[in-house]
């Protein structure tokens, strides 16, 4: 189960959108891990995943439902905000 799942359980998104958001989260996390960022380390993993999940949900609440754009935005947000 991803970190985003519990947050989505309380949302009003359609099941199709929830699938997109979960996939965007997985893509974003994979990008963070692949980048070698210290944010992927065990020390920061939980917090970094929570930030990604919340950013994806917030962006989706503003109408963005494209998996790639959601993922890229979340990664950019995390890496620029928490260097």
Q: Where are the domains of the chain?
A: 14-81
Q: Answer whether residue 71 shows pLDDT above 70.
A: yes
Q: Residue 29 in contact with residue 50, Cβ under 8 Å?
A: no
3-state secondary structure of 70: helix
For the entire predicted model, the pTM comes to: 0.89
3-state secondary structure of 75: helix
3-state secondary structure of 58: helix
Between 65 and 15, residue with greater pLDDT: 65
3-state secondary structure of 52: helix
DSSP state of 12: -
The confidence band for 47, taking pLDDT boundaries of 50, 70 and 90, is: very high
């Amino acid at each position: 189960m991803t970190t985003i799942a519990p947050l989505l359980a309380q949302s009003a998104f359609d099941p199709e959108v929830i699938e997109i958001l979960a996939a965007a989260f997985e893509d974003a996390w994979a990008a963070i891990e692949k980048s070698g960022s210290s944010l992927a380390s065990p020390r920061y993993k939980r917090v970094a995943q929570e930030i990604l999940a919340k950013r994806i949900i917030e962006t989706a609440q503003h109408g963005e439902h494209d998996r790639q754009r959601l993922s890229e935005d979340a990664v950019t947000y995390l890496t620029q905000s928490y260097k």
